[in-house]
Amino acid sequence: MPPTPPRLETIAELRELYRAAEARAARMRLLSDVGKRLSEATQDTIGEILEQCAERLAFFVGSRSAIVTLGAQGDGIPICAPGVEGPVGRITVEGLASETDIPDEEDRETLRIYLEWMGATIDRANRETERGRLLDALRDREKRLEDIVGRIFTAQEDERRRVSQELHDGVAQTATALARMIEGPGGADSPDMPAAERKRLAEIARELVTELRGVISGLRPTLLDDLGVEAAIGSLAQGLEKDGFTVSFDSSCVDAHMEPNVENALFRVAQEAISNIRKHCGGPCSVFIDLRLDGANADNGMKRFLRIRDTGVGLVNPVLSGEDSGNHIGIDVMKERMTAIGGRLDWSSGPKGGVTVTAFVPEGVSV
């Protein structure tokens, strides 16, 4: 008996298979196009892209229009995002109450994937918006903290200036007058005071005047107000030389005066750095001070800076307790001073000793 020939599909069956293949290809193209569009969405374009995606979805299910609303509340089919509890939006499609109104199972699955991708995009946009809000709040807080620190430093400088002036006009003048009275003819001719005692009192008075002048200079040197930061830092360098250090002071300034808050910050950094050299370098050594305020020598993107480098023993660990802990606080204060004026401070201790402190002046301040 001859074998039975295989059954051939009818034309109608072939057409049905072709339509099913075309439908699957159309779904794949739709998801591919929408996925690409959604992945390119930004904060500025997400609204427009969601509208376009809603319109394409409406056409896909045979409707004329669709509207997307953000948030969990409202009418329409919920739009959910992976890993997010509750809907992140809703879509209202004309003539479609829910996904169960779509008769074809593959079309329903396409709709679920479509809405899930839209939900993921909405969630990403929400996270970016929240991140931007938090960053703005953080920047605002940092700005307010910088303003507060700046006002604190300004108040400190004003108070130092006031105390320095009062000491200069009051106590220092009195001590000077006392020294002159003791050393003068009236003091020398006093029959009730031995010569040795008069001499010792005169020495004490002179020492008192010297100490008061040192305190006044430390509080607020008149050079800083009268001649500017270059002269004031030069005076600090001279003080180091008197203590036995070999100091190289190289400066390049267009003008002797800068904005007061910038001058104050640079001088206090120099003062603190030189104080640390005296405390921690291990004895007289070579110290190099460079003050560049003319913008001729760019360094790390900033053209104006103060650099103080010593060749002492350096600091092994500036965050230890005791004396080194105090030095660490001094470094933090220097950094805060420069941050308050929009600048930056770098601090480093070399492996073979020596410490380098560099204060970078921000661009935009007048020099």
The Cα–Cα gap between 355 and 275 comes to: 12
| Token digits of residue 39 | 């992945």
96: left (phi over 0), alpha (psi -120 to 50) or beta: beta
Contact residues for 291 (Cβ-Cβ < 8 A; gap 6+):
229, 230, 233, 249, 250, 251, 252, 253, 266, 306
The SS3 call for residue 175 is helix
Q: Which range has the worst mean pLDDT, 5-19, 185-199, 227-241?
A: 185-199
More confident residue, 12 or 251: 251
Q: What is the pLDDT of residue 210?
A: 72
Range 21-35 average pLDDT: 86
| Token digits of residue 211 | 């100490």
Question: What are the structural domains, with CATH classification, of the chain?
Answer: 11-131 (3.30.450.40), 222-367 (3.30.565.10)
Q: What is the pLDDT of residue 247?
A: 94
**Residue 188: band (very low, low, confident or very high) from pLDDT cuts 50, 70, 90:** very low
228: left (phi over 0), alpha (psi -120 to 50) or beta: left
The Cα–Cα gap between 183 and 32 comes to: 100
Single out the residue of 119, 115, 113, 108 nearest to residue 23, CA to CA. Answer: 108
Q: Positive or negative CA dihedral for 191, 195, 199, 204?
A: negative
Residue 206 has pLDDT above 80, yes or no: no
The Cα–Cα gap between 123 and 115 comes to: 12
The Cα–Cα gap between 169 and 207 comes to: 18
The Cα–Cα gap between 32 and 246 comes to: 73
Residue 215 has pLDDT above 60, yes or no: yes
Residue 230 has pLDDT above 70, yes or no: yes
The Cα–Cα gap between 197 and 201 comes to: 6
73: left (phi over 0), alpha (psi -120 to 50) or beta: beta
Q: CA angle 68-71-75, nearest 5°?
A: 60
Q: Walk across the sheet containing 355-361 and list its strands.
A: 246-252, 286-292, 304-310, 355-361, 344-349
| Token digits of residue 266 | 């640079």
Q: CA angle 139-347-336, nearest 5°?
A: 35
pTM higher than the cut 0.75: no
Q: What is the pLDDT of residue 27?
A: 85
**Residue 5: band (very low, low, confident or very high) from pLDDT cuts 50, 70, 90:** low
More confident residue, 153 or 190: 153
Residue 249 DSSP label = E
Instruction: Give pLDDT tens digits for 32-46.
Output: 888 898 998 888 899
Q: Which range has the worst mean pLDDT, 188-192, 236-240, 241-245, 363-367?
A: 188-192
Give 109-127 as a DSSP string: HHHHHHHHHHHHHHHHHHH
Q: Do the Cβ atoms of 291 and 256 come closer than 8 Å?
A: no
Contact residues for 270 (Cβ-Cβ < 8 A; gap 6+):
232, 233, 236, 289, 306, 308
| Token digits of residue 363 | 């661009």
Range 16-23 average pLDDT: 78
The Cα–Cα gap between 267 and 233 comes to: 6
- Report how far apart the first and last C-alpha atoms of the chain are (Å, whole number): 111
**At residue 71, what are phi and psi to the nearest 5 degrees?**
105, 165
Range 153-172 average pLDDT: 66
